[in-house]
Structure 1
Amino acid sequence: MLGTAVTLILAGGAVLVPGGAAAADEPGVVISEVYGGGGNSGATWRNDFVELGNAGAAAVGVDGWSVQYLPAQPGSGTRVQVTELSGEIAAGGRYLVQEGAGSGGSRDLPVADAEGGIAMAAGQGTVLLVAGTEPVTCRTAAACAADDAVVDMVGYGAAAVHETAPAPAGSNTLSVARDGELTDTDDNSADFTAGDPTPVNAAGETGPGDGGGGAPGPEQPGELRIHDIQGTTRVSPHSGQEVAGVPGVVTAVNPTGSARGFWFQDAEGDDDPRTSEALFVFTGSTTPDVAVGDEVLVTGRVAEYRPGDADMNHQSITQLTGAVWTVLSSGNDVPEAVELEPDTVPDAYAPDAGGDISGLGLRPDDYALDFWAAHEHMVVRVEDARVVGATDGYNALWVTTKPEQNASPRGGTVYGSYADANSGRLKIESLIPFAERPFPEADVGDELRGVTEGPLYYSQFGGYLLKATTLGEHVANGLERETTSRARDWELSVATYNVENLSPADDQSKFDRLAEGIVQNLRSPDIVNLEEIQDNSGPVNDGVVDADETLERLIAAIKDAGGPTYHWRQISPENNRDGGAPGGNIRNAFLFNPARTTFVDVPGGDATTGVEVTTENRRVGLSASPGRIAPQDAAWESSRKPLVGQFRFQGRDVFVVTNHFNSKGGDQPLYGTVQPPNRSSEQQRHAQAALVRDFVDELIAADPDANVLVVGDLNDFQFSRTLETLTADGGLYNPMTDLPAEERYNYLYDGNAQSLDHMLVSPRVEHRVRYDIVHVNAEFHDQTSDHDPQVLRFRPLSGDHKLDRREDNRYYRGNGHR
């Protein structure tokens, strides 16, 4: 929601309040769903529609407002189409705008609250909600965002006008819609998913036949059973067909959100391990009038709903839509749950098909993804499950059904290679009302003791998950945050820390907790390399690029926590050229303790000038310090540029390169239909690693004894080609590889403990390094950042080989330490 105007209901009626910062922060009316395939080939609904939703706590009047439509690529001569609105939208309510009709379709929309004749494109276009009826004059995303009359806009498919990035494409059978909470982050790609159209009007009506109302339900069982509909592949052999009188027992109800509905399961089945015996009946925004234990006959259309962006190739969910049902009896026993014991799910994760596995016959005894697909929607159970992914901000956590599978000493499951995705991981969400039982705030190593049970579902965020109707008792096992050992006086201590979009917009508590961690858990390192420092205005996209306020506020918090008064160095990027949240301008930065180490300042570094290695009087240096490595190379497009600095510790030069490589955004998921998944983002990281390696090789060629550190969020694993590029053939050394395999992690994603951040050193320093991953964030439900920091301590080489050997004998013994 752009938030340029909101409507407040006062004693005298509806009053339109002009836009402004305060107004923009208030939840209000948004576009909740857009469907342009009405009446097209294969469509169920005869008309296109736009659905509005009110996320606020008060009714909103829309007299004098309009819905307007732009084609995907508007030009100066494009005619804007306008549908005028009237009336009001209740708090939490919906408002249906009927648009143009096609020659196809079999169902009329619910009675519309406003009617127009716009023939919207099914796959791509832009819908705008406007506080006025004059056609907008904007034809670009920026111009429409700046138009005070535009309350909200949704660009879908290849639309040029959108918020941040467009929503996925619609189709003749798919609309794009927000979730039931009307989440609005001003990013259409994040807020909207493609799925079955679910029109709802202000009266809460969803059309004849939906939710068991309207048309009568079936009276006799039909020819097909659930296992016939599910079939032996991931896609139903009856997809798109109407099926009648399908029998089963209701096992669970989803009463909230935009994906309401119920699960029902055949109590008998066909004894074929490839065919699921359960289905989900999708009722959109209407809560179905059924209860667990109801014996039902269901008639509806078989649909394959594929969540998320099309490029992600998520598994599809077989479900019934537009359904009517008859309750034959109540209070029946729910079919017995499938027990998920340590040997139930295969160890192998997915077939190596070299492409899409959707049409392959399921092999549930061989592959985990096939096992889950063959039990889609069925009731499954896990007992005494250990938590391997802490509770997130959306009330979900991860457990393992295989407690011994790549277990970490702290209770997690470690991701150690592309060949082993840890098939025992399972996401847990709850169908139990929050007021009845709040979701547990669990850390890694905790336990859900007893039974956790419910239907197996699928989400674009994590893949297959258990929707719990019974949730085990949360038992906390007291995981503690780690504290590293102190550095010796003769050691330089260096840390790397991704502080997750730190800016002055954050609460002081985040600065204080980061400071406490740096001082107490990291023992106030001499140099702290920071990633994800945002500019002074944080996520506001206003052209500000400097970050002195962000850094000074963190330094002040560190001092207040009892730490040293750090100094900082950084280079401000060009506006919106380094990726991350638009307007945030994230960058890397150095903090250093001037009482322990000196920063060697060399002027000339800026956002676009590359740093070079220099040699003067046989002493190696930098053309600029701080400087950036090849900042105009295509490898750094929309990505952070490495920050290089020269430090001096006890008379010895140390060169530090802090990095934040290209993110993994856009990679296909482990749990998708393309196996093995395409890791498209790594190509850019490979190019970035090659540039950093070239720079390091140049430094070491100039001085083989150079003390070089390459640190930061490399966004890739210790076994990846990215890291191999930096370390192979006599390159940098990764001390993480000295740790036991079960301790090589500093980040958690989908229940996999993995390594994204690294601290690499020049090879001649290898035997002097003491390295520690300090677990303070990733395994905990209350995180200051999503990354764990790391600390490295070492005695820099002097360049005097005799002195260095004496120090080795005094301080070090081979590769060990005194």
Structure 2
Amino acid sequence: MPSKSSARTAALTVAAVCSAVSAVALTAPAHADAAPVRIHDVQGTTRLSPLAGRLVTDVTGIVTGVRSYGSSRGFWMQDPQTDDDPATSEGVFVFTSSAPKVAVGDAVKVTGTVSEYVPGGASTGNQSVTEIVRPTVTVVSSGNELPAATVVDSRSVPDRYAPAGDEAAGGSVNGLTLRPRAYALDHYESLEGMNVRIGSSRVVTATDPYDELWVTVKPHENDNRRGGAVYGSYTDQNTGRLQIQSLIPAATRPFPTAHVGDVLEGTTEGPLDYSQYGGYTLTARTLGTVADGGTERETTRAQARGELAVATYNVENLDPSDDTFAAHARAIVGNLRSPDILSLEEVQDNNGATDDGTVAADETVGELIDAIVAAGGPRYDWRSVDPADKADGGEPGGNIRQVFLFNPERVSFTDRAGGDATTAVGVEKVRGKARLTASPARIAPADAAWENSRKPLVGEFVFRGRTVFVVANHFASKGGDQGLTSQYQPPVRSSETQRHRQAAAVNSFVKDVLKAQRNADVIALGDLNDFEFSRTTQLLEDGGALWSAIKSLPRSERYTYVYQGNSQALDQILVSPSIRAKGSFTYDSVHINAEFADQISDHDPQVLRFRP
């Protein structure tokens, strides 16, 4: 998945949360007739309003929240007189376009058109939000008591995540009658637009630059010792996750800074919304306070004299204009304990996102090496292969690539000419040993599997007389996949098709090495943008050529990245049978970034130590 947020920034410029003007609406043809209805009639018993496209008159409710910022300006109102159907919500969002002229506690009558708005557009697969648009609003009275907030907690949210979508509707759940006591997503949908409340809840994704954080209302759901909620299976979703935003103006109260493991204490209350990035969101009118959970950055142990330490670290689009070099250097020296070989992902060219044909990254890498020395680490040497301009994806103009750093006092690199952006590396058998035809080099760069994506970097190292082959990877991102709260259940993961081809190509290369030398030490590592239980990983491991070392950890420890309340493994280190058979390796995911609001990368590094 993308490491920097440029795409999201652009999207938020167009639609801060959900604008009924700029988005796709699911509407039926408008009717000239207009009948008085209640909010639960507007919401109906499915995700789509039975009145979509119709003009409704004098819909009454109490204002429970006002959003006067961004392009999704409007207010939520709720009918204090409920019906007896748990599937129908009593709240709805009224899209006013300009700053609404109502206040919390106003009793209002609204006449307008019912619309189904899809945050981000229909192509995202997101669920829709039922809204009243083009409204005429009449304030009947002010200062009214708000409808009692519905409590969202571990008892009210079902353990099952979502129903299977209707095959006749392409897998969509939109037309299915809500079963809020059976499925978590149905439960949240039945509360769309309503005033809801959570009590003290653990933070499971740190505060982000957009003033959002995630909590869980289920404290024991797939929890780990550092406070996160681990994502360990496509079929075992974390149902208690909920995104938190604030309706409180920043000038009145800045959004709190929280890390994973902290607790949002007290009452957090406000309308339940559905946003483009994350789905169901409590837009807080009343916001709890953050209590420190004591989560600290980890430090791995140093390698022993006879151990080779090989690490991987996504440095998030690093280029000379960044101010994170010193921090990355401290992490490499202090937290990773100066590994012998370090695979870096997302190293950009010498002028970063400037798109002028520059592809060299010697200034970027040199600045990092100098910072590592200044932090008390070794003076690393490095190897890489410059990509062809704009051929490897990533931030336009940045020409990201993988780079090997290695400590020449502990490891030597075998240079063999011939590796460039377009030449495929091969494997030879020389005197009974595997040997690369070029080093450093790239795996099958012309293969369609790597189209607009980073090509694997391969290098041949020697440690204490033993050759070790290292493959540095950065597979295609998850961009374009449907979200976990998609209207399509299960959601479609379209991006994995390319990663499957990439995994098969790397696996084929490793098999070539092992065919030439059955006991060769091979390590494939990097940002794979996929989970240890995924088909991508299975294809990498095919035939026993590799094995993901993160699976040596307890399930609750298997994560390198935190996204939308899920602690998950996107970065991996896989080893060949000879390394696994030695039985002396140790693997560590070193949590220094992903759980923290003040992160210097969105990925945690990992390190493998073994005796070749």
Q: CA deviation at 1:683?
A: 0.8
- Relative to structure 1, the CA distance from residue 186 to residue 279 in structure 2 (aligned partners, 3 Å threshold; closer, same or farther) is closer
Q: Does residue 527 of structure 1 match 2:351?
A: no
The corresponding residue for 2:164 is: 352
- In structure 1, which of residues 456, 472, 485 is the aligned counterpart of residue 301 of structure 2? 485
Query: What does 1:235-634 align with in structure 2 at a 5 Å threshold?
Result: 235-284=48-97, 286-353=98-165, 354=167, 355-507=171-323, 510-634=324-448
CA separation in 1, counterparts of 2:570 and 2:517? 29
CA separation in 2, counterparts of 1:251 and 1:191? 26
Please list the CA deviations of residues 231-280 of structure 1 after superposition, one character each: whole Å capped at 9, or x if unmatched: 01111111111110111111111121111111110001102100000111
Please list the CA deviations of residues 713-740 of structure 1 after superposition, one character each: whole Å capped at 9, or x if unmatched: 1110000011011224322122211211
Q: Does residue 223 of structure 1 match 2:47?
A: no
| Contact residue 588 and residue 659 of structure 1 kept, 8 A | yes
Q: Does residue 196 of structure 1 match 2:20?
A: yes
- Which one-letter code corresponds to 1:488 in the other structure? A
| Contact residue 206 and residue 596 of structure 2 kept, 8 A | yes
| Contact residue 333 and residue 377 of structure 2 kept, 8 A | yes
- Relative to structure 1, the CA distance from residue 618 to residue 185 in structure 2 (aligned partners, 3 Å threshold; closer, same or farther) is closer
The SS at the match of 1:684 is: helix
CA separation in 1, counterparts of 2:44 and 2:352? 51
The SS at the match of 2:331 is: helix
- Which one-letter code corresponds to 1:223 in the other structure? P
- Which one-letter code corresponds to 2:79 in the other structure? D
Q: CA deviation at 1:188?
A: 6.6
- Which one-letter code corresponds to 2:56 in the other structure? V
Q: Does residue 789 of structure 1 match 2:602?
A: no
**Runs of 4 or more above 4 Å deviation:** 183-191
- Relative to structure 1, the CA distance from residue 302 to residue 309 in structure 2 (aligned partners, 3 Å threshold; closer, same or farther) is closer
- In structure 2, which of residues 533, 546, 561 is the aligned counterpart of residue 747 of structure 1? 561
Please list the CA deviations of residues 732-773 of structure 1 after superposition, one character each: whole Å capped at 9, or x if unmatched: 122211211111001011110000000011112111211100
CA separation in 2, counterparts of 1:717 and 1:677? 16
Q: CA deviation at 1:313?
A: 1.3
Please list the CA deviations of residues 422-474 of structure 1 after superposition, one character each: whole Å capped at 9, or x if unmatched: 11000000001111111111000001111011100011100010000111111
| Contact residue 37 and residue 59 of structure 2 kept, 8 A | yes
CA separation in 2, counterparts of 1:689 and 1:260? 45
Query: What does 1:44-59 align with in structure 2 at a 5 Å threshold?
Result: none
CA separation in 2, counterparts of 1:713 and 1:736? 13
| Contact residue 222 and residue 246 of structure 1 kept, 8 A | no
- Relative to structure 1, the CA distance from residue 189 to residue 425 in structure 2 (aligned partners, 3 Å threshold; closer, same or farther) is closer
The worse-fitting range, judged by mean Cα deviation, of 697-706 and 601-610 is 697-706
Please list the CA deviations of residues 338-363 of structure 1 after superposition, one character each: whole Å capped at 9, or x if unmatched: 11121211111111225111111111
Query: What does 1:12-31 align with in structure 2 at a 5 Å threshold?
Result: none
Please list the CA deviations of residues 404-427 of structure 1 after superposition, one character each: whole Å capped at 9, or x if unmatched: 000011000000000022110000
Q: CA deviation at 1:365?
A: 1.0
The corresponding residue for 1:736 is: 550
Q: CA deviation at 1:787?
A: 0.2
Gaps of 5+ in 1: 1-182, 199-220, 797-818
| Contact residue 185 and residue 191 of structure 1 kept, 8 A | no
The SS at the match of 2:64 is: strand
Gaps of 5+ in 2: 23-33
- Relative to structure 1, the CA distance from residue 185 to residue 371 in structure 2 (aligned partners, 3 Å threshold; closer, same or farther) is closer
CA separation in 1, counterparts of 2:469 and 2:72? 54
The SS at the match of 2:327 is: helix
The corresponding residue for 2:25 is: none
Q: CA deviation at 1:494?
A: 0.8
Query: Relative contact order (C-alpha < 8 Å, sep 6+): which is higher?
Result: 2
- Relative to structure 1, the CA distance from residue 677 to residue 562 in structure 2 (aligned partners, 3 Å threshold; closer, same or farther) is same
CA separation in 1, counterparts of 2:384 and 2:441? 8
| Contact residue 429 and residue 517 of structure 2 kept, 8 A | no
Query: What does 1:796-811 align with in structure 2 at a 5 Å threshold?
Result: 796=612
- Which one-letter code corresponds to 1:385 in the other structure? S
CA separation in 2, counterparts of 1:184 and 1:290? 34
| Contact residue 312 and residue 343 of structure 2 kept, 8 A | yes
The SS at the match of 1:776 is: coil
The corresponding residue for 2:483 is: 669
The SS at the match of 2:36 is: coil
The SS at the match of 2:221 is: coil
- Relative to structure 1, the CA distance from residue 795 to residue 681 in structure 2 (aligned partners, 3 Å threshold; closer, same or farther) is same
The alignment yields a C-alpha RMSD, in angstroms, of 1.6
Q: CA deviation at 1:197?
A: 3.2
- Which one-letter code corresponds to 1:413 in the other structure? A
- Relative to structure 1, the CA distance from residue 607 to residue 778 in structure 2 (aligned partners, 3 Å threshold; closer, same or farther) is same
Please list the CA deviations of residues 570-613 of structure 1 after superposition, one character each: whole Å capped at 9, or x if unmatched: 00001101000110010011000000000000000000000011
- Which one-letter code corresponds to 2:386 in the other structure? S
- Relative to structure 1, the CA distance from residue 189 to residue 394 in structure 2 (aligned partners, 3 Å threshold; closer, same or farther) is closer
CA separation in 1, counterparts of 2:74 and 2:10? 25
| Contact residue 493 and residue 525 of structure 1 kept, 8 A | yes
Provide the TM-score with structure 2 as the length reference: 0.94
How many residues were matched structurally?
A: 589
The SS at the match of 2:266 is: strand
CA separation in 1, counterparts of 2:540 and 2:419? 24
The SS at the match of 2:544 is: coil
The SS at the match of 2:309 is: strand
- Relative to structure 1, the CA distance from residue 722 to residue 729 in structure 2 (aligned partners, 3 Å threshold; closer, same or farther) is same
Identity %: 57
